[in-house]
Structure formats: C-alpha cells, structure tokens
Structure 1
Amino acid sequence: MPGKPPKRGNGGLAVALIGGGVVLALALVAAVLVIAQDGDGGGGGDGEVRLRVGRIAGGAEATPLPDGSLAMARPGVTSPVVDVYEDFACPHCGDFDRKHDPMLKELAVSGRAKVVFHPMVIFGESTQPAHDNALRAASALRCVGDGARWLSYQDALYAHQPPSISSQGYSTADLLSYAEPLGLTDDGFRRCVESQRHAASVKTVSRGYISSGVQGTPSVRVNGHTLSVSDMETPEAMRRAIGG
C-alpha cells in the first residue's frame, strides 16, 4: 500500500555527469539527451541556494521552484500538467520511479507534457525512522539549486532508498556522499545538508499537499485530477491517462 497519513506514510532515469553536461539515458527511449549546466550545483558560498534552470538538449528545461518542487517541460508547454507527489522513504515511490520515471521524462522532453515533481514527507513523526529519513532526503534535495543536478540527485536518492520504512537511511554523511559524483561538493551545499536548512519548509509544504487532498504517495494528478491505481498500473496505462 502506498505511504499514507496518519500511518504516514531506483531511479528510472540514469544520469551521468560528463564534462560540463549531464547525459540522460532513458530506458524506454532510444535516444541520448544532454543537459547543459553552468558552474556549481546552485549552493552559493554564502549558503544560499540559487535556483537555476537546467537546459536540456532538444529544448526542454528543468526548473527548480521555490517550494522545493521541480518543473520539467519544453518552453511554452503548459498542458497537460502531471504533478507527481513522492516521499523518498516510501518503498512504493521507489517502485513507481523505476517503473514510470523514463516515460514521464520522455513526455516532458518531447514536449507532450509538463511534469512537476513534488518531494514531500507523508509519514507522521511517530512513524520512525521513515519520517526522519524522508525529511533529511527532501531537505537535502532542496539544497540543489541547479535543475540538471536536481534531477541527478533525485535519481541518486532513489538508488539508495532504504529497503523498508523501518530501515534507517539517508544519514547526513550518506547524503553528502551521494552528491559527490554529481559535482555537489561546495561548502554551501555541505552546510545546507548538514543543518537541514530546509526541513521546516519541507514540513510546511508537505502539510499543504496533504491539506489539498494528497492522501498517499506516490500520487499523480493530471491537470488537477488524481489518477487511480489502475491508471498507474503500467507506463502505457499512465501514458493513456495523461494523454501523451
């Protein structure tokens, strides 16, 4: 069963940094896409996270948003909007990512949908260690300002997801080590992760999602309409539900 409140309740996209760019290997698409990025991952030396658009070959962009979500779409594509609500401690979210992530990314880069990822914490504080695992992971992701590396780090988090909600995971040291191969090594990023600077905001945003009707993770909305379990059974079923 997906993560749900109040019980509260690996990456499908392979990402590799090559020189100044990121190569995205889509398992379901016979194509190689390159994300262009400049400089560091967005964590400034002063500790502030500077949000930057990740430019993707083919014309799509990955745009981190102030609330911790990330929108991926070609410029000018505004519909359908596919909102994906995810909790990194939820095993079903890991399964969902492995099954659907390549298809969702392909829709975005081909201009057939705008995909928005919404990391959140669905588990209540009494559900440990799942709550704290998810909070550390989502807070660390907020420390990545560059859209390209945001996607890379999200994949790394799923690749190292704790095997169950009763498993300890996503320690601060681990979160920093997952970031190193992606070039996220600056002091600003390290301090942001170590202090869990965005933890309070993650909690606030998560409560907002739950208040809006998100009752479990993974959840997907298409233009505001929540997809059923059958709609998410396979990538083909979800593609039909999205209309892509």
Structure 2
Amino acid sequence: MGNPPNAPWPPQPGRGGQQPPYGPPPVPPGGPAPGPPPGPGWRPPHGMPPAPPPGRRGGGLVIALVGGGLVLVLVVAAVVVLLVRGGDDEGDGGAQQLTVGKIAGGAEATPLADGSLTMARPGVTAPVVDIYEDFACPPCGAFDRRHDPMLKQLAVEGRAKVVFHPMLIFGEATQPAHDNSLRAAAALRCVTDGAHWLSYQDALYAHQPPNESATGYLTRDLLSYAEPLGLTSDDFTSCVKSQRHAASVKTVSQGYVSSGIQGTPSVRVNGRTLAQSDTESPDALRRAIEAAA
C-alpha cells in the first residue's frame, strides 16, 4: 500500500531502526530554539508537503524566479576579493581567495570562510534568514525546490539577508548518506566565487540521491556537474578529489549542532528557529520573514 499524501518521510525507520536525523521538532511560533537533542527514541517529524518537480534547474548561471516572474543571471564578477583562512583544520588548504559574485538586480553573493554564503543587496543587514542544509537530506532538496526562488527574490529586492549554511548532519554510522553529504559539502567549498557557488549548489540539489540509502555525489560526478559552470581549473579539480575541506566541514557542522541545530532543513530568522508551520509554503515563509523585518 502506498503512503498517504503528506505522510511523514520516511514511512519506516531506516537501517538499524534509526531515523535519519533531519527534520527538527516543531517549535511554537514565537518560541525559543530547540534545546539539546532528544534521546535515541525521538522520531523527527518530517512531513513537508510534496514538492513540485524541479523545473527551474536549467544549468549554467541562470536561476528562474518562478513566483516573481524574474530571471536572475548570475554574473561572474570579481567585485571584491577577500583573502581569508580556509579553516583551522590541518590540511584544509590554507588561505583562499573568495570572490563576491554579482547577481542581476543588484544583490551580491558573498562566500564566507566557514563554507557558508551570504546573499543580499549591499547595505541590507536584516532580517537575517539562516538556512541550514545537508545535501544528502531529501527534505532539504524538497525545501530548496519549494523556497529557493522566493529567497533569491527577497535578497534581490533588498528585503532580507539570506545565509546558506551547508552542513553534515549524518553521523559516520549512517552510510552512505554521511559520505555523500561530506563529499558534496566539501566540493562546494572548493568554489570560491559567489555566483558560481549558487549555481553549483543548484547543480548539487538537481542531482541529489533519491534517499539516504543511495550512493551519490561520487567524485567523478561532482566534477562533471561543475564542468557546464566553467569550474574546471586544476585547483578546483584537485580540491574536489582530495576533499581538501572535509575536516573543516565536520568542524563547522559540529559547531552548528552545538548551537542548537538538531536537523536539516532548519531555518532561523534573526536567530529564532522557525516552526514547521512557517516553512510549509513559500507564502508562509515569506510572512515569517517579513514579520521579523
């Protein structure tokens, strides 16, 4: 018998009776962020409404904003070059040059040293919308297909500062999801230009493994997804093959968990973790963001 519409995902416990660790427990609107992770018997309340087919993935550097009827062309432009430390983990690659990318409409995509990326118009500092995501988490893919166009539109309109936080939520015992996630997040950190970063994130979600039991994001695939974007340099290829930033991905992810992130996707607006009801639809998420402005 098939699962009823909107049934929590997945319908049965995973390997060894463990549920995948994404989908934080609901938080009452206006309530505090969740506390320490619950005990081993906790079953995360997945159940995001079914996402529409990913029709906006066109490859290259074009992102269609369906809701607003806009098409944003990400322009690879060296507006600002930041020399930053790539991380404190041994073997993380030392200093990186991170390039701010221009988005048509006046917004900028700024990669940060911890692997996250800020998307906003210059001078816009609030409200801050933090998105915590794991590329091996199917609900994260559904969230991206549902909300990404609206979030980009808010950033272009100067109505929010959106920060993407790729992370590793799966433990090492949860295979192959753990390794899938780690390879993808480490590869994204090899992209130092903000415009390319957003396009490569789109490509990762477009090729997301169908579930946490499927192997995906193999090194050869991660490189092939990057080729249409022009990410073919020797340094990028070497970075992806060696998983240069894997140790830092783990360290940064543990910091997010210690800050109260219990699962992915998680959304915080001005530091407050949103309830699941606030992310059920783009309109609901937009209202929650605008209420915090």
**TM-score, with structure 1 as normaliser:** 0.90
| 1:28 shift after superposition | 1.4
For 1:163 and 1:205, how far apart are their aligned partners in 2?
A: 26
Partners of 1:158 and 1:93 lie apart in 2 by 9
Deviation of residue 138 (structure 1)?
0.1
Q: What does residue 21 of structure 2 align with? A: 3
Q: Which runs of 5+ in 1 are unaligned?
A: none
Which string of whole-angstrom CA distances, capped at 9 and with x for unpartnered residues, describes residues 192-230 of structure 1?
A: 000000000000000000000000000000000000010
Worse overlay, 160-169 or 22-31: 22-31
> Structure 2 counterpart of 1:32, which letter?
V
Tell me, in whole angstroms, the C-alpha distance in 1 between the residues paired with 2:57 and 2:214.
25
Q: Residue 125 of structure 1 aligns with which residue?
A: 172
Which protein shows a greater Rg?
2
2:72 to 33, 38, 46: 33
Unaligned runs of 5+ residues in structure 2 are 1-8, 10-19, 23-36, 45-52, 82-92
Shift in Å, 1:12: 7.6
The percent identity for this pair of structures is 71
Identify if the C-alpha distance between structure 1 residues 149 and 128 changes in structure 2 by more than 3 Å, giving closer, same or farther. Answer: same
2:240 is aligned to 193
Of 208, 224, 230, the residue aligned with 1:183 is: 230
Give the secondary-structure state (helix, strand or coil) at the position aligned to 1:51.
strand
1:59·1:109 contact (CA, 8 Å) conserved in 2? yes
Q: CA deviation at 1:50?
A: 2.0
Which residue of structure 1 lines up, in the alignment, with residue 148 of structure 2? 101
Distance 1:47 1:168 in 2: 30
Cα pair 1:11 1:156 within 8 Å, conserved: no
RMSD over aligned Cα, in angstroms?
2.4
Q: Determine the structure 1 residue equivalent to 2:25.
A: none
Quick one: distance in 2 between partners of 1:105 and 1:171? 28
Aligned to 1:215: 262
Question: In the TM superposition, what is the alpha-carbon distance from 1:48 to its structure 2 partner?
Answer: 6.2
CA contact 1:3–1:218 (8 Å) conserved in 2: no
User: What is the aligned partner in structure 1 of residue 203 from structure 2?
Assistant: 156
Q: CA deviation at 1:240?
A: 0.5
Question: 1 CA distance for matches of 2:214 and 2:127?
Answer: 37
SS at match of 2:97: coil
Q: Which moved more, 1:53-62 or 1:218-227?
A: 53-62
The CA distance in 2 between the partners of 1:194 and 1:11, in whole Å, is 28
Partner of 2:29 in structure 1? Answer: none
Measured in 2, the distance between the counterparts of 1:222 and 1:214 equals 13
Q: CA deviation at 1:13?
A: 5.5
Q: Please name the residue that 1:24 is paired with.
A: 63
Stretches of 4+ moved more than 3 A in 1?
Answer: 1-7, 9-17, 46-49
**Which string of whole-angstrom CA distances, capped at 9 and with x for unpartnered residues, describes residues 47-93 of structure 1?**
96421000112210000000000000000000000000000000000
Query: 1:73 touches 1:109 (CA, 8 Å); kept in 2?
Result: yes
Q: How does 1:47-86 map to 2 (within 5 A)?
A: 49-86=96-133
1:92 match: secondary structure: helix
Structure 2 counterpart of 1:28, one-letter code: G
Shift of 1:16: 4.4
CA distance in 2, matches of 1:15, 1:107: 21
User: Which has the higher relative contact order, 1 or 2, with Cα contacts under 8 A spaced 6 or more apart?
Assistant: 1
Q: Which residue of 2 aligns with 1:116?
A: 163
Q: Distance in 1 between matches of 2:177 and 2:238?
A: 23
CA distance in 2, matches of 1:232, 1:54: 28
State the distance in 2 between where 1:228 and 1:15 align. 31
Residues 1:210 and 1:47: Cα distance change in structure 2 (over 3 Å): closer
